[in-house]
Structure 1
Amino acid sequence: MIRMLLRVLGDQYARPIRRTVALMTTTAIAEGLSYALLVPVLRALFGSEPAAAWPWLIAFGAVVAAYAALRYISDLSGFRVGTTMLRGMYHRLGDHLARLPIGWYNAGRIGQVSALASGGVLQAMSVIAHLLAPSISASVTPLTIIVVMLAFNWQLGLAALVAVPVVAAIQLWTARSTAATDAERAERDQEATGRVIEYLQAQPVLRAGGRSGERFRLLDDSLREVQRVSRRSVLSVLPGAVGLTLTVQAMFTVLLVLGASLALGGNIGAAEVLAILVLAARCADPLLSLADIGSQLRGARSELARLDTVLRTEPLPEAREPIQPVGRDLEFDSVAFRHGGRTVIDEVSLSVPEGQRLAVVGPSGAGKSTLLQLLARFYDVDAGAVRVGGADVRAISTEVLMAQIAIVFQEVYLFDGTIEENVRLGRPDAGVAEVRAAATAARLDEVIERLPGGWAANVGEGGTLLSGGERQRVSIARALLKNAPIVLLDEVTSALDPVNEAAVHEGIERLMAGRTVVMVAHRMRTVQRADRIAFLDGGRIVEEGSHHELLRHGGRYADFWNASLTPATAWDGRG
């Protein structure tokens, strides 16, 4: 368990963890030794001179005080190390998730990451703070007591020692028998989490279909599976818990019978028998807690294993000796990219000179947005190269590459905070005047003026308190504030009303001015001012040229253009 913790978190935590384990082990031994002093105390109290118990009582008090101090120090150390590890784990998980390819984030992993980030990390990291001390105490304290029993009477000590391998075997058997159900339980929990998210996201569809009052069958089925697996999990643990209880009770009964036999034979005094039975009773409590502790440790270990799996997922590699791009030109050189078992981009070669605009058009599923994602290195190509400023994006550090690029997506995500905080994501160190200027250029100031709270207005999680057009203006203001030399636009105006579309277009024109631009658009009139247009279909470039060149050619682009116009204004190929 500790080895897995260190593997997941890193060796920098090894020293504090080992120190904490040593403190907790010493504390458990001190607890066992404090019980050992009950033997001479009871022997003196039941002997001919009860006053002889005073020195032993003082020693008992001193050991108990030392144990209390050790317990405080070890528990405090456990909480501190646990808190540090929890913070470190969240940072490491967040940093790692930010470096994983976008393709890793499929729908099935939404529940997995949500479960890990909410309860999984907390459960896994709680081992040091909450489970390690009881676990060590439940193992070391009984062993210490058994050693003490051996020192006072070898027959009784040996009888207690026989129970040790039996308890160990029961714990091992329980762990193995519950491993399969624990894994299935985790899988079902993740699936249920995903279904809950799906149910919440599907509310507009369900209500539009008049089914808002109905149960969501997929969610119900998933929750029933969780219930079924939970029942199996409890039943799989039950034999181990019963077996452990019976073993402890049997050990106590054997000690009682053996102690009585030795006392009747005159081999041991009644006081010693009573003291040994008291020790056995103190030994039983931590042993009985092993069942519950073991279950919690297995759950934490399962979460650790899942965290380890995520953290072992290979991120996009960083160049050992990063190259600085020279210039702001863009190039796709015989690029091929496969995803989900199919070829999305196939032998695409394109170039965008510095300061020019390239528009990518084509039918849905042609791979247009994928080209933008390859430029931003959300994925790595399978063949060929994507270059920015003459340098392969794989040879540019992520920080430098992202500093060169501003991206405006169709679906804008805003963080739960104020409008100003969301705009400042473009450049957190920007001055107030720069933020206001970017907002004005994006016509976001019109939105801010009519919102209660103005700049301090909260946008809600995901920007749900703003309309689609308003969110898009925030996104453009963010990109303007970043002031990157390369701009990527992905279907920015495809779902906007005319008023917002006009405002967003104005903001986009200001954003594109003097920059290298690659834009993807469904609305054909937005691409007319591009320097070049590439028509993409089936992952291949089937046509390339200026707006007028492609219209004169009368190919696929012309068909798209004519389909977007009314019959009265359609291009006939002669003008």
Structure 2
Amino acid sequence: MIRVLLSVLGHRYSRPLRRTLALMTAAAVVEGLSYALLVPVLRELLGDTPEDAWPWLGAFGAAVAAFAVLRYLGDLSGFRVGTALLRGVYHRLGDHLARLPIGWFGPARVGEVSALAGQGVLQAMSVIAHLLAPFVSAAVTPLTIVAVILACDWRLGLVALAAVPLVAVIQVLTARATAAEDAERAARDREATGRVVEYLRAQPVLRAGGRTTERFGLLDDALRQVRRAARRSTLSTLPGALGLTLTVQAVFTAVLALGAYLALDGDVGAAELLTVLVLAARCADPLLSLAELGGKLRGARGELARLDAVLRTEPLPQAARPVRPAGHGVEFASVTFRRGGRTVFDGLSLSVPQGQRLAVVGPSGAGKTTLLHLLARFHDVDGGAVRVGGADVREIGTPELMAHFAIVFQDVYLFDGTIEENVRLGRPGATGAEVRAAAAAARLDEVVERLPEGWATRVGEGGARLSGGERQRVSIARALLKDAPIVLLDEVTSALDPVGEAAVHAGVERLMAGRTVVMVAHRMRTVQHADRIVFLDSGRVVEDGTHQELLRRGGRYADFWDLSLAPSADG
């Protein structure tokens, strides 16, 4: 458990964690040793001079006080270390997720990461703050008590010692028996979390289909599976809990029987026997608590293992000696890229000189958006190279690479903050005047002026309080504020009404001015003024040229252009 925890967090946390563990172990040992003082206390109390027990009672009180101080320090250290570890694991998980390839974040990852980042991390980190001290006490205190019993009478000590391997075997067998069920329960929990997210996102579709009063079958099935997995997981722990209880009771009965026999035979005094029975009874309580603690620790260990697996996922490699691009042109050199068992590009070559605009058109699934993702290094290519300013993007440091790009996607995500805070993400250190200038260029100021709270208007999660066109204006203002030399545009006007499209188009024109641009578009009118247009199909460049050249050829691009004009002609 501790090894996995340190693997998750890194060894810079090893010293405070080991110090906490040492304090908890010392408290458990002192607790066990304090019971050894019951031997002289009871011997004097049951002897001819009970008043002689006072010094021993004082020593017993001092030992209990020492235990209390050590336990307090151990628990306090546990809470502090647990809090530090919680903060550390969230930072490390967030940093790691930000470095993973975009392709890793498939649909199944939503529920997994959501459950892991929420309940999973809290459960795993609660080990230090809430479970470690009771577990150390339940394991170490009984062992210390057994050592005390051995010192009192070796025969009774050996009987008590027999419980140690039996309890260890039961714990190991219980862990093995419940491992599969625990993993199944965790998998069902993650699936159910994903279904809940899916159900929330599917509300517009469900309501449009008139299914507002129906139950969501996929979610219901997932919740039923969670209930069944929880029942099986609980049932799988019963044999271990019953076995532990029977073992502890059987050993205690054996100590009682042997002690009575030795006392009747005169080999053990009444004070010693009474002390051994008190110690044995005190030993039983923490041992019985191991069943509950073991279940919680197994659950936490499972979450730690899953967290460790995510953190072990290889991020995009970083260059040992990053280079700086010598310009702002982009190039795809014999690029091969595969995803999900499908070859998206096979030997694709394409270049955009600095300051020119390239438009990419083609049918859905042709690889247009993937082209932009490879430029921004959301994925690494399987063959060939993607270059920016003559440098392979894999050899450019991530901060340097991203500083070269301003990206505007079709689906704009805004954080639940104010409009100004979302614009400032482009350049956090920008002045107020620079933010206002970028907003004016994107025609975002028109939106701000008609909102009651102006720049302080909160946009809601994902920008839910703004329309699609308004979100796009925020995104364009953010890109303008960043002032990057290369602009990547992905279908930025495809879902807008004519008024919104006109406003966004004006902002896009300002964004593209004087920059290297790669744009993906379905609305053909937005690409006719590009310096160069490529028609992409099945990951291959089918046609390449200017708007007029491609129309004269009468090929695929010309067909697309005619189709884009057809609705207007019919109207």
Superposition TM-score, scaled by structure 1 size: 0.98
Cα offset, 1:261, TM superposition: 1.4
- 1:85 is matched with 85
Cα offset, 1:374, TM superposition: 0.5
- 1:287 is matched with 287
- 2:515 is matched with 515
User: Aligned partners of 2:233, 2:400: CA distance in 1, in Å?
Assistant: 50
SS state at 1:452 partner = coil
SS state at 1:289 partner = helix
SS state at 2:551 partner = helix
Letter in 2 for 1:363: P
- 1:391 is matched with 391
- 1:473 is matched with 473
Q: Does 1:163 align with 2:176?
A: no
Q: Does 1:552 align with 2:544?
A: no
Cα offset, 1:85, TM superposition: 1.1
Instruction: Give the alignment of 1:435-514 within 5 angstroms.
Output: 435-514=435-514
- 2:357 is matched with 357
SS state at 1:298 partner = helix
- 1:242 is matched with 242
Cα offset, 1:568, TM superposition: 8.1
- 2:530 is matched with 530
> CA deviation digits over 1:130-155, x for unaligned, max 9?
11111111010000001001111111
- 1:573 is matched with none
Cα offset, 1:293, TM superposition: 0.7
Cα offset, 1:567, TM superposition: 7.9
Q: Does 1:408 align with 2:445?
A: no
Q: Does 1:341 align with 2:344?
A: no
- 2:227 is matched with 227
- 2:261 is matched with 261
Instruction: Give the alignment of 1:197-212 within 5 angstroms.
Output: 197-212=197-212
SS state at 1:267 partner = coil
- 2:429 is matched with 429
Runs of 4+ aligned structure 1 residues displaced above 6 Å come to: 567-570
Letter in 2 for 1:328: H
User: Aligned partners of 2:249, 2:82: CA distance in 1, in Å?
Assistant: 35
- 2:8 is matched with 8
Identity of aligned residues (%): 76
> CA deviation digits over 1:6-29, x for unaligned, max 9?
112111111111111111111100
Instruction: Give the alignment of 1:130-145 within 5 angstroms.
Output: 130-145=130-145
> CA deviation digits over 1:264-310, x for unaligned, max 9?
11112222211111111110110000001111111111111101111
User: Aligned partners of 2:40, 2:235: CA distance in 1, in Å?
Assistant: 44
Q: Structure 1 unaligned segments of length 5 or more: list them.
A: 571-575
Cα offset, 1:566, TM superposition: 3.6
Cα offset, 1:165, TM superposition: 0.7
User: Aligned partners of 2:259, 2:444: CA distance in 1, in Å?
Assistant: 86
> CA deviation digits over 1:419-449, x for unaligned, max 9?
1111111011111111111111111111111
> CA deviation digits over 1:149-185, x for unaligned, max 9?
1111111111101111111111111001001101111
User: Aligned partners of 1:561, 1:243: CA distance in 2, in Å?
Assistant: 77
Q: Structure 2 unaligned segments of length 5 or more: list them.
A: none
User: Aligned partners of 1:450, 1:250: CA distance in 2, in Å?
Assistant: 79
User: Aligned partners of 1:568, 1:342: CA distance in 2, in Å?
Assistant: 37
Letter in 2 for 1:277: L
Instruction: Give the alignment of 1:165-184 within 5 angstroms.
Output: 165-184=165-184
- 2:18 is matched with 18
User: Aligned partners of 1:347, 1:547: CA distance in 2, in Å?
Assistant: 25
Letter in 2 for 1:164: V
Letter in 2 for 1:242: L
- 1:368 is matched with 368
User: Aligned partners of 1:240, 1:305: CA distance in 2, in Å?
Assistant: 23
Letter in 1 for 2:539: G
Cα offset, 1:452, TM superposition: 2.3
User: Aligned partners of 2:243, 2:326: CA distance in 1, in Å?
Assistant: 72
Cα pair distance change 1:201/1:358, threshold 3 Å: same
Compute the RMSD of aligned alpha carbons: 1.1
SS state at 2:535 partner = strand
Q: Does 1:63 align with 2:36?
A: no
User: Aligned partners of 1:568, 1:477: CA distance in 2, in Å?
Assistant: 31
Count, aligned residues: 570
SS state at 2:425 partner = helix
Judge which range, 92-101 or 249-258, deviates more.
249-258
Q: Does 1:542 align with 2:542?
A: yes
Q: Does 1:51 align with 2:51?
A: yes
User: Aligned partners of 1:250, 1:52: CA distance in 2, in Å?
Assistant: 36
> CA deviation digits over 1:402-432, x for unaligned, max 9?
0000000000000111111111110111111
Cα pair distance change 1:7/1:158, threshold 3 Å: same
Letter in 2 for 1:553: R
Letter in 2 for 1:91: H
User: Aligned partners of 1:228, 1:568: CA distance in 2, in Å?
Assistant: 57
Cα offset, 1:241, TM superposition: 0.4
Cα offset, 1:346, TM superposition: 2.4
Letter in 1 for 2:305: A
> CA deviation digits over 1:473-511, x for unaligned, max 9?
100010000000000000000000111111000000000
Letter in 1 for 2:422: N
Letter in 1 for 2:389: G
Letter in 2 for 1:484: A
Cα offset, 1:336, TM superposition: 1.5
Cα pair distance change 1:568/1:141, threshold 3 Å: closer
SS state at 1:347 partner = strand
User: Aligned partners of 1:484, 1:456: CA distance in 2, in Å?
Assistant: 26
Letter in 2 for 1:116: L
SS state at 1:47 partner = coil
> CA deviation digits over 1:287-334, x for unaligned, max 9?
000001111111111111101111111111111111100011111111
Cα offset, 1:569, TM superposition: 6.5
